[in-house]
Amino acid sequence: MISEPLKNPLSLFDVKGKPALITGASGAFGRAVAIALSSLGAKLTLVAGNNEELQSVAQECRSVGGEVQTINRRPDSLDDANAMIKAAVEAYGSIELMFIGSGYNKAGFIHEQDYEDWQAVMDANVRGNWFMAKAYGTWRIENKLKGGKVVMVSSVRGRHGNISGYTGYCTSKGATDMLTKVLATEWGQHGINVNAIAPTVFRSKLTAWMFDEDNELGQATKQRSLSRLPLGRLGEAEDLVGMAIYLLSPASNFCTGQIMYVDGGFTAG
């Protein structure tokens, strides 16, 4: 007998009606994933700190038929994260999918960078992820729910160092990788899949400094990145969507604890 996934393989990517929460929804990755999930019929709770940009993304999602609510808030505390989960549950009855797209970077060589700047990167990229994971996992486990998908955004910099003043960013993404793996092992018994997407340099607000002609550090970082990319170009937000849909859909039910590199071949050589 031929199984249903083999007869209808596209059904593996069905997320129609699934309640999904996206943090960093106004960023390049969050926006792209939000619009794609809306097109596929997921029910979205979009979260971002910049309300004007957040509402713009929400309108784009609605323009492709998405059902969307917004929360103008950042995951700066566990109270923030719990409030986001609560809002998603109140609106849609549950929270099944979560894409943690919020993040931050401020480059600086360690002998020049203030501790506060380093800590801000760690807070945004590690502490915020931990808050969101804790709030999500607590709600599902306490309600004895099986299944669920969590996708974090890591980076090739969680695996490779960078000479361009990345002690904060590289350290935070290495921590994100390990948080992904530990949660996958911890939550496997509850059927919750936890994975991370690790891009290389993508065009976004976060990497805008690399495109500033007057920023010598940025230009050097950009050229060095391009020299390591076999595909010969930087990434665009759309390049990440396919992997995100895979990891948020039933297609990835037997994939957990993985760092999925979407990097133009950066880590291959």
Residues carrying an active site annotation: 169
> Which phi-psi region, left, alpha or beta, contains residue 93 (left: φ > 0; alpha: ψ -120 to 50)?
left
Interacting residues of 10 by C-beta distance below 8 A, sequence separation 6+: none
Spatial contact of 101 and 25, defined as CB atoms under 8 Å apart: yes
Q: DSSP assignment, residue 163?
A: T
CB atoms within 10 A of CB 58: 21
* Rounded Cα gap, residues 53 and 42, in angstroms: 21
Instruction: Compute and round to an integer the Cα radius of gyration of the chain.
Output: 18
Q: How many CA atoms lie within 13 A of 193 on its CB side?
A: 22
3-state secondary structure of 166: strand
